[in-house]
Amino acid sequence: MADRPVVLLGVTGGIAAYKAAELLRGLQKAGMEVRVIMTRSATQFVGPIMFEALSGAPVRLDHVSELRNDSKITHVEDAQEADILVVAPATANTLAKMANGVADNLLTSMILAFGKTVVIAPAMNTNMWQHPATQQNVAVLRERGVFVVEPGAGELACGDYGSGRMAEPDSIVAEVKLRLQVQRKRDLRGLRVLITAGGTREPIDAVRFIGNRSSGKMGFALARAAFDRGAAVQLIEANVDMPAVPGVLQIETPTAGAMHAEVMKRLPETDILIMAAAVADYRVADGPAGGKIGKGRDEWAIGLEATTDILCDVSAHHQGQFLVGFAAEYGLEGLGRARSKMEHKQLDMIVFNDISRSDIGFDSDYNEVRILTRESEVLVDKAPKETIAEIILDNIAQAVRARQGETPLPA
């Protein structure tokens, strides 16, 4: 990456195209060089001259031949030179093309030719944004590793009120900065990271189980981010309904017992263990009943027995691995309990989150956490789980490096 990162800014045809000028300025202020590509319909909303004047470089336009006079192919050449591609605003139409690999204009051709990070900031009318087709396209893009800066809610140009308004330029700049930082970071290279995700289910009979609300989103975000930072990642997952993480070995463990066995098996080849899974503390005593238990009774008491605490068992057998636990506590007063868990389970770090809040945590794409170590407490404000994952890994990488000064971890 050059000293000044190069951003390709794709502007598509929506009212929010005028906000792309402010975004361009914000990216420049953050030390980036910006090159603009406009679709034909974007030029009907704002003139290319404005972007040309602001960026100090020619704007790439759709109707100009793709073959420059030096015989270089514009979309391939530009894609190679840039560090990141940002589409803002991204219309429903461009999102649909991106999701389907359509390359019918210069920008969409460039997107296909671009092998690095892509960030999109959708902007459209609420109904278009909420339409299942658009939502599905966005989900496909996310799955493929595109970073989405979600639109905000507010009054839209069409007079409607709702979600669909392009995120503020400041938030888009923040996301681009974060993604560039991650690209520069390969601080987990050579480290083997074992992550658990999801929620275990303890069978009662052939159809029923005792489960919990963990979605696995946090653990999956950690796995993807750790892989991007150069780690060899194994993801032990329990009942997660999410697409596979490219480059990561995934192992399904539906119950606490199965997860325990897999973690212990893989512990000797692990440098960092992150237990993000919600593991059942109890299972049905004497094992699940065969078949399906019928009703025909007024009360039903199920005898439970404790499962093995995986982290406690790991601590008892641990050989220098960096151990990270998660503490889901109800209310801020749980902070003390999280700290005692860290001590009791002999962890290097515990990530506290407050499950009394409905806007973060379980099922949500957002979280707000406190990262506790024996010496420190870092508050991470509400943010998408991908961002929280990066900050957790920043803290882990820093702590592991500090420790490497004392006892080197196997590389």
The set of catalytic residues is 212
CA 197 vs. chain centroid, Å, equals: 13
Q: Where are the beta strands (DSSP E) in 310-376?
A: 322-329, 349-354, 366-372
Stretch that binds ligand CTP, among 28-36, 129-137, 147-155, 275-283 (CB under 6 A): 275-283
Tell the smallest beta-carbon distance from residue 169 to ligand CTP (Å): 38
Residue 262 φ/ψ, nearest 5 degrees: -65, -40
Identify which of residues 205 and 313 has a Cβ nearer to ligand CTP in the complex: 313
DSSP H or E stretch at residue 263? helix 256-266
* By CB under 6 A, residue 261 contacts ligand CTP: no
* By CB under 6 A, residue 341 contacts ligand CTP: yes
ω into residue 151 within 30 of 0, thus cis?
no
Torsion of CA 318, 322, 326, 327, to 10 degrees: 70
* By CB under 6 A, residue 90 contacts ligand CTP: no
- x-marked contacts with ligand CTP along 168-187 as a string, rule CB under 6 A: --------------------
Identify which of residues 14 and 325 has a Cβ nearer to ligand CTP in the complex: 325
d(CA 185, CA 179): 10
d(CA 59, CA 12): 13
| Choice from 90, 106, 225, 256 touching ligand CTP (CB under 6 A) | 256
Per DSSP, helices labelled H in 355-404 are: 385-404
* By CB under 6 A, residue 166 contacts ligand CTP: no
Query: CB neighbours of 316 closer than 8 A, spacing ≥ 6?
Result: none
Burial 193-218 (b: 16+ CB within 10 A, else e): bbbbbbbbbbbbeeebbbbbebbbbb
Amino acid code (one letter) for 147: F
Stretch that binds ligand CTP, among 36-44, 70-78, 107-115, 323-331 (CB under 6 A): 323-331
d(CA 274, CA 192): 11
Q: Which two three-digit tokens encode residue 230?
A: 């150069």
d(CA 310, CA 234): 16
* By CB under 6 A, residue 362 contacts ligand CTP: no
Identify which of residues 68 and 317 has a Cβ nearer to ligand CTP in the complex: 317
* By CB under 6 A, residue 92 contacts ligand CTP: no
**Binding-residue total with ligand CTP (CB under 6 A):** 14
CA 2 vs. chain centroid, Å, equals: 26
d(CA 320, CA 237): 24
DSSP H or E stretch at residue 49? helix 48-55
Tell the smallest beta-carbon distance from residue 196 to ligand CTP (Å): 6
Tell the smallest beta-carbon distance from residue 328 to ligand CTP (Å): 4
d(CA 17, CA 80): 25
| Choice from 277, 391, 392, 400 touching ligand CTP (CB under 6 A) | 277
* By CB under 6 A, residue 114 contacts ligand CTP: no
| Choice from 77, 150, 205, 281 touching ligand CTP (CB under 6 A) | 281
Per DSSP, helices labelled H in 121-240 are: 126-130, 132-143, 169-184, 217-228
Tell the smallest beta-carbon distance from residue 362 to ligand CTP (Å): 12
Stretch that binds ligand CTP, among 43-51, 73-81, 223-231, 302-310 (CB under 6 A): 302-310
* By CB under 6 A, residue 307 contacts ligand CTP: yes
Identify which of residues 39 and 367 has a Cβ nearer to ligand CTP in the complex: 367
* By CB under 6 A, residue 367 contacts ligand CTP: no
* By CB under 6 A, residue 279 contacts ligand CTP: yes
Q: Cβ(165)–Cβ(151) under 8 Å? A: yes
| Choice from 147, 322, 326, 352 touching ligand CTP (CB under 6 A) | 326
d(CA 171, CA 221): 20
d(CA 172, CA 163): 16
Identify which of residues 140 and 328 has a Cβ nearer to ligand CTP in the complex: 328
* By CB under 6 A, residue 236 contacts ligand CTP: no
Tell the smallest beta-carbon distance from residue 213 to ligand CTP (Å): 12
Tell the smallest beta-carbon distance from residue 210 to ligand CTP (Å): 13
* By CB under 6 A, residue 275 contacts ligand CTP: yes
Stretch that binds ligand CTP, among 51-59, 63-71, 239-247, 309-317 (CB under 6 A): 309-317
380 strand-pairing partners: 369
* By CB under 6 A, residue 311 contacts ligand CTP: yes
Residues in touch with ligand CTP (CB under 6 A): 256, 275, 277, 279, 281, 307, 309-311, 325-328, 341
